[in-house]
Amino acid sequence: MLSPETGPIAVIGGTGALGGGIARRLLRARLEVILGSRDAARASAAAAQLTEEIGSPARGTDNLSAARDADIVVVAVPFASQSATLTELAPVVEGKIVIDTTVPLIPPRVTRVQLPPEGSAAGVAQKILGGRARQVFAFHNVSAKKLAGEGPVDCDVLVFSDDKGARELTIDLANACGLRGVDGGALVNSAAAEALTSVLIWINKTYAVEGAGIRITGLRPPSELNMSRDERRHDSQRDAPEASSVDRAGFDPARFCRRFLSQGYNGSLQLRYVSNGDDCVVLAAPSQPELLETNDEMVADGALITLLDMTGTLAVWTRLGRFRPHATLDLRIDHLAAIPPDTEISSSAECYHLTQRIAYVRGQASTGDGTLIAMLAATYAFTDQP
Amino acid sequence: VSQSSPNTPAMGVRISVDPEGRELLLLSFAPHLRGRPGFLHGGAIAGLLSLACDHAIRKETGSSGATPPRCLTSSFQFLRGGREQDVHALATVQRGRAISTVSAAAWQNSESKPVAVLTRKYLMG
Q: Summarize pLDDT for B105-124 with one digit per residue, the tens.
A: 999 999 999 999 999 999 98
Coil/strand/helix, residue A281? strand
CB contact under 8 A, B5 and A288: yes
Coil/strand/helix, residue A62? strand
Lowest mean pLDDT among A41-50, A154-163, A302-311, B96-105: A302-311
Q: Is B76 on the interface with A (CB under 8 A)?
A: yes
Q: How are the residues of chain B apportioned to helix, strand and coil, as percentages rounded to the nearest 5? A: 20, 40, 40
Lowest mean pLDDT among A139-148, A265-274, B41-50, B83-92: A265-274
Global pTM value:
0.56
Do the strands A134-137 and A97-100 form a parallel or antiparallel pair, or are they unpaired? Answer: parallel
Q: Backbone dihedral region of A300: left (phi > 0), alpha (psi from -120 to 50 degrees) or beta?
A: beta
CB contact under 8 A, A305 and B76: yes
CA gap A342, A378 in Å, rounded: 27
CA gap A27, A11 in Å, rounded: 11
The predicted pLDDT at position B1 comes to 26
ipTM: 0.85
Minimal C-alpha gap between A308 and chain B (Å): 9
CB contact under 8 A, A4 and B71: no
Contacts of A309 in chain B (CB under 8 A): 42-43, 46
Nearest-10 Cα torsion for A166, A171, A176, A177? 110
CA gap A105, A193 in Å, rounded: 12
Whether the Cβ atoms of residue B70 and residue A338 lie closer than 8 Å to each other: yes
Strands of A33-37's sheet in order across: A58-62, A33-37, A9-12, A72-75, A97-100, A134-137, A156-161, A180-185
